[in-house]
A and B are shown apart, each in its own frame.
Chain A
Amino acid sequence: MATFLLEIRTEEIPAAALPGARRQIAELFGARLAEGGFSDLPIKALSTSRRLAVVIDDLPTRQPDRSEDLTGPPVRAAFAADGSPTPAGEGFARKVGLPLDEVGRVETPKGEYLAATVVHKGRATPEILAEMIPEIVAALRFPKMMRWGDGSHQFVRPVHGVVALLDDELVPFEIFGVASGRSTVGHRVHAPESFELVTAGRYGAAMAERSVMVDPNDRRTQLETLAEELAENAGAKVHPDPGLIAEHVELVEWPGLVAGAFEARYLDLPPEVVVTTLRHHQKCLVLEDADGGLQPGFIAVIDRRDDPEGLVRQGNEWVIGARLADAGFFFAEDCRRPLAEIVQGLERLEFHRVLGSLEDKAARVGELAAVLADGAAGPDELRSAARLAKADLLTHMVGEFPELQGVMGGHYLRLENADDALWSAVRDHYLPVGFDGPVPDSVLGRLLGVADRLDTVAGLFAVGERPSGSKDPFGLRRAAQGAVKIVAESGWDLDLAHAVDAAAAVVAEHAEGDREELAAAVTAFVADRVRRWLTDVVGVSGDTADAVMAAGWSDLPGAVARAEALETVRSSSTFRSLALAFKRVRNITDGQPSAEVDPEVFEQTEEHELHEATREFGCALHGLLPERRVEEAFTAMEPLADILERFFVEVLVMCDDERIRDNRIALLKELGRNFMNLADLSKLQVEGGDH
């Protein structure tokens, strides 16, 4: 058993590419080694910003021998009548490397055959690795590949060295014009000298001595521990930021930290501005007090052990001071004019060539929001709010920090003493992003949020900018998802299908095709997002979602409740039987006209029984559904299972007497209508469903 090491040393690899690179290289090695007969090996993929490595412990130094059972020609074909060998017999003997008289025989139903077991000797592991590695490396894929130098090689960044050792033995091959060897280098600042690795098993230790921590997990632990220590020394806490830590883990070879401070006066800026500057622009960890209040300090991650002359801290403090001053400058500039004045410029910001300016959009959003509000707020108020919601796009701050859209509008309005309802709605109306994050707190925020997104979706559909496949340049799927989430999570009794219609109506004048086609396309698009909400977020299976949506999804919170209830009950034998029975009901009644049921025409007790049960079920729904007591409604459905089964056994619906037949169809139709208040059970895929 030996330890194998491969290290590919490069220039700095993009942080975002490294987790995928480690995953790929481990998978590729695992697969290729398994093909070679090596299995269940602990493959460790390691990396720093400047190297990608694989360490495999307990690798046999030879490939295991592999035996193969070969069957040759029938014995009677291998020997002539006089017992002398035929060419076929001799051929097989040559193939298995034995004299013909030593070749074994095997009895089969088709007679006796020549047979032999051939042992393929395993090859030396380094030989196999030397063949395998260039292919594995060539199979690695990165989000963006590049060429360098003479342009003949392609990888994520230029390659400078390759180490490949099985214990102390060199595994010889060449990739990217670089021959494998045993030399590598340590940290760029602390140990830049080239050195030879004696043996693969020493890799981690030898690199650590040279200030390179090759295991990302070790770097994460060190970062988190050091950050906590530093924060504690500063009497503060680190604002948890796993995403940022994960990025820094990939950006360094040896993670170090420096704590720095900025002038407390910048804490007068909106906290989001300070946090955006520190986190997004400088990738610093943010410090806060016990109550989550921002502290005038930060922690910067550095790629070195120390800050010997304090220059790294000073430099970071200077940069952050400058960036905060820059943000302060924008804030002061923006505050010179009220948002109500700034908003005049909206007509200069184009939303879309055909759909017009953001001023035009705000007008549409206001109009649509008024429909959605159903009288709860006036159209003038809503239109004015819709305009103010977009006003911060004209501010210096959002021009510089686009991620603060909404947030800045909220702050500026609050500072102008606007109503709480207004500034919080403006702040929140971009929430959530797709299905992620919280929804707006206020009614006004939700109104603007849904109206804005439906207008965007309907508008861009109208002018032919519809998403297809992976192409969704305007983020319409995310927009529709945001609207769906707002309605579903807030329990809003909005008629969503009607809202979509209204949105289509507002943009209809821009539509290329006819208005009905537009409304239908947008409705189908939103319905698809509703289905995704049910399957991905509520967590029901696809056919449950289909069954529930076939019974209507316009009342979204109601559809969610029905989906959850159906998902719970559907696995019972009662519901399997109901689903099968309902498929029969649909098969019989689809396309048939509705009619009044006449109990006088019934001939069999099962008809009376089903009629009574249907009526009872209908009454139960009448009481339960307005209160969204859907679980009870599904429970009320259960007695129908046995009754329907008896009905279909005893009653021939399609009998010859037309009057009796139509009455029976009418009965099943009435039952179907009741069912369809909850779900179209025929959409459920259940065992025996093909009958």
Chain B
Amino acid sequence: MDLQTLILSLQRYWADCGCIVQQPLDLEVGAGTMHPESFLRALGPEPYRVAFVQPSRRPADARYGENPFRLGRHLQLQVILKPSPDDVQELYLESLRALGIDPAVHDIRFEEDNWESPTLGAWGVGWQVLLDGMEITQFTYFQQAGGIDLAPISAELTYGLERIAMFLQRKDSIYDIEWGGGVSYGEVRLAEEREASVYGFEVADVEMLRRHFEDWESEAQRCLEHDPPLVIPALEATLKTSHLFNLLDARGAVSVTERVGLIARVRRNAVATARAYLEQRESVGFPLGSELTGGGEVV
């Protein structure tokens, strides 16, 4: 199964399960969890089901396109089911069938792997899902986001798309994956990986990055101080500081102690944004409802 069929199959499957299929956030983020459809929708009582692909940038993981298993930007497909339905594991296993993986003839394991995002003030518990020894999905029950205890609880499924494609296609290099229509992953993305590595490790202007970190940090605060607070602009400005931090980190410009301080600064705005979002939704009466819908129902 090529990469695009994999994406289309998962989107079709989760749409049939009652998810709206959203589009990627058009900003640089390290993970799908930073998408407002995940981070913000997890807050408050409103039920929600959504699936989207999120290109996820981790400059420090880039390898100049030379390592066959590592990327500075990879694709996640994330599914949020809020509240987590009783049959969420079965729904997930069924999604593997949509990819041509028959759980009846494979070894599928749910091994403890808890998730934490210090920059988002968020954590959850869950598993990494292993298929024949290969980690294919991160499965998390969000417990807290933006420092706020969650109820209802969202289940978050994150599929690592390149890995799954590599495994399904039995390729020895990410760049050999077939994307679709006879075009390989390498033909689409290799040049970008090389350039992003050179930029992230060697070229990025540290002083400029630091300056912009400050700029976007105060911009986020300005959005939050606006009356009424501008929630999405505040989140977007905060996500920019998160990405700038990742770039500084990849560039080797962040010492261990400074690291703690910068993360705390990103988190402060993420937490304030989460509160502002919750107040905003409450002020309009939680339009998506606050009645719990129970498992399996379409939202």
Which residues on A are within 8 Å of B, measured CB to CB? 11-12, 14-16, 49, 144, 146-152, 158, 160, 188-189, 251, 282, 284, 300, 302-304, 307-309, 311-312, 314-316, 318-322, 325-326, 329, 348, 350, 352-353
Contacts and interface: CB of A to CB of B under 8 A. Distances in A.
A321 B292 CA distance: 46
A304 B107 CA distance: 7
A15 B69 contact: no
A282 B292 contact: no
Q: How large is the interface on B (under 10, 10 to 19, 20 to 34, 35 or more residues)?
A: 35 or more
Contacts of A147: 141, 143, 150-151, 153
Nearest to B151: A151
A314 B111 CA distance: 20
Nearest to B104: A189
A597 B104 CA distance: 92
B256 A353 contact: yes
Contacts of A189: 103-104, 108
A312 B127 contact: no
A314 B168 CA distance: 11
B133 A316 contact: yes
Contacts of B134: 315, 318-319
B111 A251 contact: yes
B167 A315 contact: yes
27 contacts: A12-B110, A12-B112, A15-B111, A144-B114, A144-B125, A146-B125, A148-B153, A148-B155, A150-B83, A150-B292, A151-B83, A151-B150, A188-B108, A300-B133, A302-B107, A303-B107, A308-B105, A314-B132, A315-B107, A315-B131, A315-B134, A322-B69, A322-B172, A326-B67, A326-B68, A352-B257, A353-B256
A144 B124 CA distance: 10
A307 to B, nearest CB: 8
Interface in B117-152: 124-125, 127, 131-134, 141, 143, 150-152
Given A150-B152, A311-B106, A320-B133, A16 B256 contact: no
Contacts of A149: 83-86, 152-153, 292, 295
Contacts of B167: 315, 318-319
A307 B106 CA distance: 7
A304 B255 CA distance: 47
Contacts of A284: 133
Contacts, number: 118
A15 B113 CA distance: 11
Contacts of B127: 12
A514 to B, nearest CB: 25
A316 to B, nearest CB: 4
Contacts of A160: 86
A395 B55 CA distance: 28
B252 A348 contact: yes
A377 to B, nearest CB: 31
Q: By CB atoms of chain B within 10 A, which of A16, A304, A322, A352 has the most?
A: A322
A353 B143 CA distance: 33
A322 B255 CA distance: 32
A146 B151 CA distance: 11
B109 interface: yes
Contacts of B5: none
A286 to B, nearest CB: 15
Nearest to B110: A12
A146 B143 contact: yes
A151 B112 CA distance: 20
Contacts of B124: 146
Nearest to A399: B60
B23 interface: no
Given A149-B153, A251-B111, 17 more contacts: A11-B110, A12-B110, A146-B125, A147-B150, A148-B153, A149-B83, A150-B292, A151-B83, A304-B107, A307-B107, A311-B105, A315-B132, A315-B167, A316-B132, A319-B167, A321-B172, A348-B252
Contacts of A188: 103, 108
Contacts of B66: 329
Interface string B83-115: 111100100000000000001111111111010
5 nearest CB pairs, A to B: A315-B132, A151-B151, A14-B112, A12-B110, A353-B257
Given A303-B109, A312-B107, A350 B133 contact: no
A315 to B, nearest CB: 3
Contacts of A49: 110
B145 to A, nearest CB: 13
A284 B114 CA distance: 22
Contacts of B143: 146-147
A350 B255 contact: yes
B255 A309 contact: no
A316 B110 CA distance: 16
Contact of B132 (A14, A15, A312): A312
A172 B105 CA distance: 38
Q: By CB atoms of chain B within 10 A, which of A151, A314, A350 has the most?
A: A151
A152 B108 CA distance: 29
B140 to A, nearest CB: 10
Contact of B257 (A16, A316, A350): A350
B172 A325 contact: yes
A221 B295 CA distance: 39
A160 B295 CA distance: 12
A282 B132 CA distance: 10
A282 B133 contact: yes
Nearest to B140: A146
A148 B132 contact: no
A368 B63 CA distance: 39
Contacts of B255: 350, 353
Interface string B256-299: 11000000000000000000000000000000000010010000
A311 B110 contact: no
A396 to B, nearest CB: 9
Contacts of B69: 322, 325-326
A321 B67 CA distance: 14
